[in-house]
Amino acid sequence: MSTVQKTDWLSPEDYLAGELQSDTKHEYVAGYVYAMTGASETHNLITGNLHAALHGHLRGKPCRVFINDMKVRVADAFYYPDLMVCCNPADNAPYFKTQPCLIIEVLSRSTQRADALEKRIAYQTLDSLQEYVLVAQHKPDIRTYRRIAGGWEEELSGADDTLRLLSVDLRLPVAEVYENITLSDETT
């Protein structure tokens, strides 16, 4: 979750050097740095549920699951997706990845517009990306954008559905994504 606090323009190299020494996470877009804010309990539980399912499913396979603190580089922008899966062993930079096959963002009121528009458009330029998933916090509502021949398709998953993550061959009941969560309109 980022705040709209801009700093002076920085090069990607200066951003990366500063990020290594900063106590606060920042995203980097078009030369500007945006401070990240903390996440809610619900956000953390959803992210944890998805991470546990992905990590268990991918154990013993060449894919790696990253949660919250690993950046993805898209051209000269750097974002912190909530979850990211990378299956290419050559994508081995220590502080950011460039070839994820799956990115998942858990939406909050402060980030849903950027996640659904700006980041979706940026992420979909990554040749390696096969799926981009947006997970609502306040109700069981998951939107999956999946690369198909000639473009992207959108798949919606609700409370009684199964989330299909074809990029990693995982099918997960939506109820498991929202396990141990009390849903309400007040969740942010």
Q: Percentage of residues in the chain with pLDDT exceeding 70?
A: 89
**CA 71 to each of CA 20, 99, 147, 177: distance values in angstroms, whole numbers, following the listed order:** 12, 11, 22, 23
Domain spans, the chain: 39-177
Give the mean model confidence (pLDDT) for residues 66-73. 94
Confidence tier at 2 by pLDDT (50, 70, 90): very low
Provide the token pair at 93.
């930079």
Give the model's pLDDT for residue 145: 98
Q: What is the CATH number of domain 39-177?
A: 3.90.1570.10
